[in-house]
Amino acid sequence: MPIQSVSWVSKTLAVTRKDIVSEFRTRYAVNAIVMFALVTLTVISFAIGLLSPSKEILSALFWVILFFAAMSGLAQAFIKEEESGTAMILRLSCAGSIVFFGKMLFNLLLLITLSILIVPLFIVFLKISPADWIIFTGGVLMGLIGLSGATTIIAAIVSKASVKGALFTVLSFPVLLPLLVAAIEITRVSFTGGSFADISAPFQLLVAYDVIMITLSSMLFDFVWRL
């Protein structure tokens, strides 16, 4: 059998591709996330009714929908592997960093897909549109990167516990709080039509959060994953 070397990137993409193919066939996480987001969005739009909430509140509601939708499905990336006994295959086949970045990329793609679906519906149902699309898109993208990085390591921790679902949200909330605060602020500025100067501080916080979270998570992942 010919033995060739496979680069770290190819191995990572193989993990992501495997998760995409598997998800496409089972729709395990996608169904949970999309349904949760749609139901929450509908409930919020009915609850608000004819009221006209401020843009500050709407920007917070946007991230509440994304946060809880992520909580409903992103933990599955690891829980499914542990419960079906396939996690052992990954542990014995590749380094933890490959699993971490492969799963993180899959979670990020899932969140981006969700956002593409949710943003137009949010605009239609809640009758609000970003005044500055560049700030809005940048804020959402950076927020999703941080969200996927943090939830990936937390999902790996939670997959070892017996009470998985509740623990995931409880552990995620304090870890994601700085990200949510910064992301909500950027979204608010994008709704109210502020300038780039107005988002300087929250954007720096968001970038710093993403970098620290992803770097630390990738370094600590082996300790969580191996045992």
Partner 1 sequence: MAGCFTPGLFCIFYSLALQFRNDYPLKLMFELEVKNVSKWFGTRKIFENINLDLKSGQSIAVAGPNGSGKTTLLRIIIGLTVPTAGEVVFSQENKKLDFDSYRSSLSLVGPYLSLYGSLTARENLKFISKVSGTLSSDSDIGEMLEKVGLDGRGDDYVLEFSSGMQQRLKYAAALIKNPSILILDEPTSNLDDEGKKRVFNIINQYRPDSIIIIATNEKEEYSLADSVCQLGE
- Closest approach of partner 1 to the CB of residue 80, in Å: 10
CB closer to partner 1, 60 vs 155: 155
Q: Which residue do the tokens 């916080």 mark?
A: 205
Q: Which of 85, 116, 162, 163 binds partner 1 (CB under 8 A)?
A: 85
Which residue stretch of 7-15, 47-55, 152-160, 182-190 sits at the interface with partner 1 (rule: CB under 8 A)?
7-15
Q: Which of 20, 48, 94, 121 binds partner 1 (CB under 8 A)?
A: 94
Number of residues in contact with partner 1, rule: CB under 8 A? 46
In this structure, are residues 78 and 156 in contact, taking their beta carbons and an 8 Å threshold?
Answer: yes
224: which residues sit within 8 A by CB, 6+ positions away? 153, 156, 157, 160
- State the Cα–Cα distance between residues 23 and 90, nearest whole angstrom: 17
Q: How many helices (H) and strands (E) are present in the chain, helices listed first? A: 9, 0
- Closest approach of partner 1 to the CB of residue 182, in Å: 12
> Structure tokens of 225?
């994953």
Q: Does 8 bind partner 1 (CB under 8 A)?
A: yes
- Closest approach of partner 1 to the CB of residue 23, in Å: 9
In this structure, are residues 201 and 186 in contact, taking their beta carbons and an 8 Å threshold?
Answer: no
- Closest approach of partner 1 to the CB of residue 177, in Å: 19
Q: Which residues bind partner 1 (CB under 8 A)?
A: 1-11, 14-15, 18, 21-22, 25-26, 84-86, 88-95, 97-98, 101, 200, 203-204, 207-208, 210-212, 214-215, 218-219, 226-227
